[in-house]
Amino acid sequence: MARRDNTSVAKKATPPKLVPRPKTAGKRAARVAKLIKLLDEMYPNPKIPLLHRNVWELLVATILSAQCTDKRVNEVTPGLFAKYPTITDFANANQAELGKDIRSTGFFNNKSKSLIGAARKILADFGGEVPKTMEQLLTVPGAARKTANVVLGGYYGIPAGVVVDTHVQRLSRRLDLTKQTNPVKIEQDLMKIIPKDKWIAFPLQLIFHGRALCIARKPRCVDCKLDSLCYAKDKFLG
Ligand code: SF4
């Protein structure tokens, strides 16, 4: 009985007020380096959880993932890619029918319009190849910075920026990596303090951590290895 109590005490998360905020630029950089090291240990070689066989399919899956879980997208895309196996099939798709095919991912009218528009744009202006630069990708219907970063980093291995989704937004603020709420500004902050060779892995690690432990309501701080570096006001210490 006593042993169980001791274990419980040892695992208890550090109260936020006891985690010192680094006061110098050097100490802040050292803290970020430690966070990255711990995330590398917890989530080594993170991979994009959206099913895809080529870069076009990753672009489609990423567009579908807006306001939708990756799990739901992965339930829809195998059938979708069987019915529309090529980018040309998407370009020629009937929007109403495509909308029905992706209905369960939500916002299906906008998404079907984006998918057809993206396919036509890529066929017309990029020879059917999903472009490899941020500037070009941002001209593709349905592709804002987050989508472009997923495709560039996740498929081409090009660190053009940092993916900022809802998990990255929440964890970046909890971990005091930004005070911003706008995703574009959060990305700018992260690009300043995260080394470029971590721009692809780091947001994926935050996404996995956000799903596993640092959930929106009642994060599981008692099980979190980042606890000693985290002074989030909403740490859950129960
Ligand atoms: S779970 Fe989230 S809030 Fe809790 S200690 Fe870990 S990073 Fe901080």
| DSSP secondary structure string for all residues of 45-105 | S----S--SSHHHHHHHHHHTTTS-HHHHHHHHHHHHHHS-SHHHHHT--HHHHHHHTGGG
Ligand 1: does its nearest atom lie under 6 Å from the Cβ of 219?
Answer: yes
Residue numbers annotated as active site: 146, 165
Write down the pLDDT at residue 16: 66
Q: How confident is the model at residue 89 (pLDDT cuts 50, 70, 90)?
A: very high
What are the structural domains, with CATH classification, of the chain? 2-46+162-229 (1.10.1670.10), 55-154 (1.10.340.30)
Write down the pLDDT at residue 17: 63
Task: Write the residue with the smallest CA distance to atom 8 of ligand 1.
Answer: 230
Q: Which of 62, 50, 55, 47 is nearest to 155 (CA)?
A: 55
Return the best residue to mutate from 19, 39, 175 for the ligand 1 pocket (most ligand atoms within 8 A of CB): 175
Average pLDDT of every residue of the chain: 93
Q: Which of 159, 165, 158 is nearest to 194 (CA)?
A: 159
The answer to whether the beta carbons of residues 130 and 89 sit under 8 Å apart is no
The beta-strand segments (E) located in 20-67 are: none
Distance from the alpha carbon of residue 143 to the mean position of ligand 1, in angstroms: 31
Distance from the alpha carbon of residue 178 to the mean position of ligand 1, in angstroms: 15
Ligand 1: does its nearest atom lie under 6 Å from the Cβ of 235?
Answer: yes
Q: Which residues contact 124 (CB under 8 A, 6 or more apart)?
A: none
Global pTM reads 0.90
Q: Which strand (E) or helix (H) includes residue 39?
A: helix 25-42
Q: Which of 145, 135, 95, 138 is nearest to 115 (CA)?
A: 95
Does the pLDDT value for residue 85 go beyond 50?
yes
Residue 142 DSSP code: T
- Say how far apart CA 188 and CA 183 lie, in whole Å: 9
- Which whole number is the average pLDDT over 165-184? 97
Does the pLDDT value for residue 27 go beyond 90?
yes
Distance from the alpha carbon of residue 221 to the mean position of ligand 1, in angstroms: 5
Q: Please report, in angstroms and rounded to a whole number, the separation of the first and last CA atoms in the chain.
A: 20
Q: How confident is the model at residue 11 (pLDDT cuts 50, 70, 90)?
A: low
Ligand 1 atom nearest the C-alpha of 221 is 4
Q: How confident is the model at residue 236 (pLDDT cuts 50, 70, 90)?
A: confident
Ligand 1: does its nearest atom lie under 6 Å from the Cβ of 176?
Answer: no
- Say how far apart CA 204 and CA 103 lie, in whole Å: 26
Ligand 1: does its nearest atom lie under 6 Å from the Cβ of 177?
Answer: no
Residue 176 DSSP code: T
- Which whole number is the average pLDDT over 69-82? 97
- Say how far apart CA 169 and CA 172 lie, in whole Å: 5
